[in-house]
Chains A and B, each alone.
Chain A
Amino acid sequence: MWIIYTLNGLYFAALLFLISLGLNIILGVMGILNLAHGSLYAIGAFIAAWIIITLGTQVPPFFLYVSLLSGLVGVGIVGFLMEKSLIRFMYKRTLEYQLLLTFGALMLLEDVIKMIWGGQAYYASAPFELLGKVDIFGNVYPAYFLFVMFIALIAGLLIWLFMSKTKLGIMLRAISLDREMATGLGLDITGLSTFAFVLGAGLAGLAGALVVPTTPALLGFGHEPLIFGFIVVVVGGLGSLKGALVGSLLVGFTRSFGIAVFPEIELPLLFLIAGIILVVKPEGLFGR
C-alpha cells in the first residue's frame, strides 16, 4: 500500500507544481499575487473537457492527449487578455489594490465560467480510461497518473532550461531581482510582464486540463487547488522555483499520507506543518 501512497503523493505534487510554478512566475516577475489563479485553472479544465467531449471516441487516442494542451493555449489567451485589460494598470499601485483587483477578477471569471458552461458537471474520462492500469511491484495503478507526473516533469525541466539558459528567461529573472534596474538597462518591461503572466496562466490551465480526465469539471473547481498553491508558495518561499518544487513535494506527500493515516484532519494537518515551518523559517524554505 505504501507504494500507492507514495505514487499518489507524487501525483498531487506534480499538479501542485504546475499550479505553484505559475503563481510563482507571476509573483516573481510582476510582484502580484494572483488570486484568480484558481479560476484560470478551472477554465483550463473546462476547455479541455469540452474539447475531449466534442472529439468523442471517433478520433485516434493520440489526439485526445494532444487536446489536453488546449488548456495551456486557451488559458494562455485568457491570461493575455486579462493582463492587457486589467493587470497592466496595477504595476505601480499598492498591494491592497493589486490583491483586490485579482479578487474582483476571480469573481468575474467564476461567473464567466457559469455563463459559458452552465452549472452542470463535465465528464471527460476518455484519456484516463484509454491508458488503463499498470502493475507496479504487485500494485495496480492507473497509468494516467504516471502520464501526469511525466508531463509535469517535462514542463518543469523546460521552464528550468528556459529560465537559466535562454536570453528571454534571464531577462525575466533580471526583472524579478530588480525591476528598476532592469528598466534602466532598457528591457521591455511591458512586453516581458505580459509574457510572464501568459506563461503563468498557461501553466495553471495545463494543470486544470490534466486533472479533468480524473475528476469532472464543476463550478468552484479551482478553489481548493488555489489554497494548496498558496501553501506551496508560502512554504517554498515567494518567487522561488526550487521552493515551488520542494513545497509541492512536501504538500503532495503530506496530503497523500494524511488521507491514508488521518483522513479527517488531513487538511488541518497540512496547515499545521506549513505553520510550523513558517515559525521556524519565516521566509519559507527557499525564500530570499
Chain B
Amino acid sequence: MGLTGMVKNPRWIVYSLIFIALLFIPRILSIHDLMLFEYGITFAIVGLGFNLLLGYTGLLSFGHGAYFAAGAYTIAMISKYFPQAYSLEILIPAALFFSMVLSIIFGFVCVRHTKIFFSILALSLSMLLFALLFKLYHITGGSDGLRVPLPTLLGMSFKGIRRPEFLSGTYYYFLLGMFSVSFLVMKGIVSSPFGKALQAIRDNEVRAELIGIRVRRYRLYAFVISGMFVGLGGALWTFVNGHVTADLSHWVFSGEIVYMTLLGGFGIFEGPIVGAIIFTYLKLYAMGNTQYWMFVIGGTLIVLVLLLPNGIAGAFAGLWTKIKKVIEET
C-alpha cells in the first residue's frame, strides 16, 4: 500500500488520531495509571507477536512466556554482568537477538507438530527454561529474581532520577516509539505475501503445500518472528517493572498471554492490543479488590469462552457490520 492509499483508507486516519492522542497520555493520567498503561503497551507488543502465530498461522502456543523471559533476562543479565553495556540502544537489539536464538531452537522442535501437540510441546519447552532459571539461582537469582536498574539512552544518564519520573518522561515516549514501530512492522508482515501464505497454511495446510508453500519452514519463520516480538515486549516490560523472576517463563504466565489475546479477539489485527490493555486493568482491579482475584479472572475467562468467543474487539466489529448493514438497507 502506497502513501496515497494509506491516506485514502479511513483506518489509517484513525490510527494517526490514536497515535496523536497517545502522545498526550502522560499529561492526563496520574503516575500510577500511567505505569499501568505502560504495562498495557508492553503486553500489546507481546499480543501483536503472539497473534501472528495464533490468529494468522493457527498455532496455539502455551509457552510464549519463555521468549518474554528471554527478553527480560537479557536485560537483567547484562545489567549484572556487563554494566558498561547497559544502554537501551544495545539492550533492545540484544534482547531481540537472544529471543530470536531461543525461538529458533524451541521453534525447530515445536513446528514439527500442530494442534494440541504443538501447544503442549511449547508449554514443556518453556518449563525447561523455567526450570533452568529457577534452579541456577546463583546466576539467575532463582525465585527471588533479579533487580533491574534504570538504563541509559544514547549517552543520556538517568542517575539521580527516580523510577516514576523516568517512566513518565523519556521512557514513555521511547515505549510509544517502539510500539508504533512494532505495530507498523507487524501490519506490514501480515499484509505481505508471507503473511498471506501463513493464512493459507492456517486455513488449509494440504492446499498450501500443494501450491508450493513450504509449510514447516514458514511456520518456523512465523514462530521466530512472534518470539522476537514477545521478547521485545519482555525487555520493555522489565524497565517498567524493575524486577524479573523465573515465573515469567512459567506456563501460567504464558496462559495469561493467551488470555489477553483471546480477550481482545484473535481474529482481528488490533484485537490483542485492546485485550492487553483491558487485561492489565482487569487483573490489577481484581487483585486490588479481592484476595480471590484468580476466581474473578478465571470466571471472566470462562464467561468469555462461552459467550464472547470473538473477544471484545471481535464483538464490536460484529456489531459494526450489523449497523452498517442496517444503514445500507434503509
Binding site for B on A (CB under 8 A): 27, 31, 33, 35, 86, 89, 93, 95-97, 99-101, 103-108, 110-112, 114-115, 223, 227, 230-231, 233-234, 238, 264-265, 267-268, 270-272, 274-275, 278-279, 282-283
Q: Is the CB of B259 within 8 A of A100?
A: yes
Closest 7 CB pairs of A and B: A107-B298, A104-B301, A271-B128, A111-B295, A267-B131, A108-B298, A104-B302
Q: Is the CB of B255 within 8 A of A271?
A: no
Segment among B19-27, B118-126, B217-225 that sits at the interface with chain A = B118-126
Q: A89-B306, A111-B294, A279-B109 are in contact. Are A100 and B119 (CB under 8 A)?
A: no
Contact of B262 among A96, A223, A227 (CB under 8 A): A96
Q: A101-B305, A271-B131, A279-B109 are in contact. Are A115 and B121 (CB under 8 A)?
A: no
- In Å, the complex CA distance between A114 and B132 comes to 29
Q: Is the CB of A278 within 8 A of B109?
A: yes
Contact of B128 among A108, A264, A272 (CB under 8 A): A272
- In Å, the complex CA distance between A75 and B167 comes to 48
Q: Is the CB of B262 within 8 A of A275?
A: no
Q: Is the CB of A97 within 8 A of B309?
A: yes
- In Å, the complex CA distance between A104 and B295 comes to 9
> B255 contacts which chain A residues (CB < 8 A)?
35, 103
Q: Is the CB of B124 within 8 A of A95?
A: no
> B299 contacts which chain A residues (CB < 8 A)?
104, 108
> B295 contacts which chain A residues (CB < 8 A)?
107-108, 111-112, 115
> A275 contacts which chain B residues (CB < 8 A)?
109, 124-125, 128
Q: Is the CB of B294 within 8 A of A108?
A: yes
Contact of B297 among A107, A114, A233 (CB under 8 A): A107
Question: Scoring B residues 115 to 152 as 1 if CB is less than 8 Å from chain A, else 0, what string do you get?
Answer: 11101110111011001101110000000000000000
A119–chain B nearest beta-carbon distance, Å? 9
- In Å, the complex CA distance between A223 and B109 comes to 24
Question: Which B residue sits closest to A271, measured CB to CB?
Answer: B128
- In Å, the complex CA distance between A179 and B255 comes to 28
Q: Is the CB of B121 within 8 A of A265?
A: no
Question: Which B residue sits closest to A36, measured CB to CB?
Answer: B298
- In Å, the complex CA distance between A265 and B293 comes to 34
Contact of A111 among B109, B116, B134, B292 (CB under 8 A): B292
> B297 contacts which chain A residues (CB < 8 A)?
107
- In Å, the complex CA distance between A267 and B299 comes to 32
- CB contacts under 8 Å to A, within B200-239, are none
Question: Scoring B residues 17 to 45 as 1 if CB is less than 8 Å from chain A, else 0, what string do you get?
Answer: 00000000000000000000000000000
- In Å, the complex CA distance between A274 and B128 comes to 10
B217–chain A nearest beta-carbon distance, Å? 16
B248–chain A nearest beta-carbon distance, Å? 15
- A–B pairs, 23, beta carbons within 8 Å: A27-B116, A33-B116, A95-B115, A96-B262, A99-B62, A99-B119, A100-B258, A101-B302, A101-B306, A104-B301, A104-B302, A105-B298, A107-B297, A108-B299, A111-B292, A115-B292, A227-B127, A234-B120, A234-B121, A264-B135, A264-B136, A275-B124, A282-B112
Interface residue total, chain B, C-beta cutoff 8 A: 43
Contact of B119 among A33, A274, A278 (CB under 8 A): A33
> A274 contacts which chain B residues (CB < 8 A)?
124
Q: Is the CB of A268 within 8 A of B120?
A: no
Q: Is the CB of B128 within 8 A of A268?
A: yes
Asked if B54 is an interface residue, CB under 8 A from chain A, the answer is yes
Chain B, interface SS category: helix
- In Å, the complex CA distance between A103 and B115 comes to 17
B298–chain A nearest beta-carbon distance, Å? 3
Question: Scoring B residues 87 to 104 as 1 if CB is less than 8 Å from chain A, else 0, what string do you get?
Answer: 000000000000000000
Asked if B251 is an interface residue, CB under 8 A from chain A, the answer is yes
- In Å, the complex CA distance between A203 and B276 comes to 37
Known: A99-B116, A110-B294, A275-B125; 12 extra A-B contacts, CB below 8 A, are: A33-B116, A93-B305, A100-B258, A101-B301, A104-B302, A104-B305, A107-B297, A234-B120, A267-B134, A271-B124, A282-B113, A283-B117
- In Å, the complex CA distance between A97 and B310 comes to 10
Q: A267-B131, A278-B109, A282-B113 are in contact. Are A95 and B298 (CB under 8 A)?
A: no
Question: Which A residue sits closest to B251, measured CB to CB?
Answer: A227
> A108 contacts which chain B residues (CB < 8 A)?
294-295, 298-299, 302
Q: Is the CB of B135 within 8 A of A265?
A: yes
B252–chain A nearest beta-carbon distance, Å? 8
Asked if B48 is an interface residue, CB under 8 A from chain A, the answer is no
- In Å, the complex CA distance between A234 and B132 comes to 20
Q: Is the CB of A230 within 8 A of B135?
A: no
Question: Which A residue sits closest to B134, measured CB to CB?
Answer: A267
- In Å, the complex CA distance between A115 and B115 comes to 35
> A264 contacts which chain B residues (CB < 8 A)?
135-136
Question: Scoring B residues 166 to 199 as 1 if CB is less than 8 Å from chain A, else 0, what string do you get?
Answer: 0000000000000000000000000000000000
> B115 contacts which chain A residues (CB < 8 A)?
95
- In Å, the complex CA distance between A278 and B118 comes to 12
Q: A104-B299, A268-B128, A275-B125 are in contact. Are A96 and B294 (CB under 8 A)?
A: no
